[in-house]
Amino acid sequence: MGQEITELLERIDPAAFAAVVEAFGDPSRRWFFSGQGRSGLAAQMSAMRFMHLGRNVHFVGEVTGPSIRKGDGLLIISGSGETPVSLSYAKIAKAEGATVVTLTHKPKGSLSQIADVVLPVPVVETAQFGGSLFEQTSLLLLDAVVLEMARALPDAHATMSYRHTNLQ
């Protein structure tokens, strides 16, 4: 697994990665994260880290999630780029004037055509079941985005620790 992830990370387009980092550049922008199945779990974990940075983040479908509006952002993790509910969310976000960012292994898929920023995760072959390699790598890529953003904080670890849950 480790070798598969390493080889996949080596094929990530640095310019596409930088575009995702840039999309998250405005600390005042609200972000909504989404994905279905295991991609959704990776999106939830990533949303948590963005919250730890101090960003205003929601996971789509949570009962306390507000409506998406102009100026907001929607990040969708979708391996196929064709999941009907994810496509629906992207279309709603675009209609409202929000920015759509996606991680997908189908950069020519329907979701990529809607998105403003696409980070292709070029899974070719894997010994793992289903979309495991895509989901694992998506989580690592978004953790890397968090690390890039954390560089701008004077004491990122203290900030993130302070915001980490204490109700456990």
Is the Cα dihedral 51, 103, 17, 126 positive or negative? positive
Tokens of 47: 């949303």
The one-letter code for the residue type at 163 is: R
From 82, 125, 135, 148, active-site residue: 135
135 assigned to active site:
yes
- Report the C-alpha gap between 120 and 112 in whole angstroms: 9
117-120: strand order across its sheet:
57-59, 31-35, 73-77, 99-104, 117-120
- Report the C-alpha gap between 118 and 104 in whole angstroms: 7
Buried b (16+ CB within 10 A) or exposed e, 3-19: ebbeebeeebeeebbee
Active site residues: 135
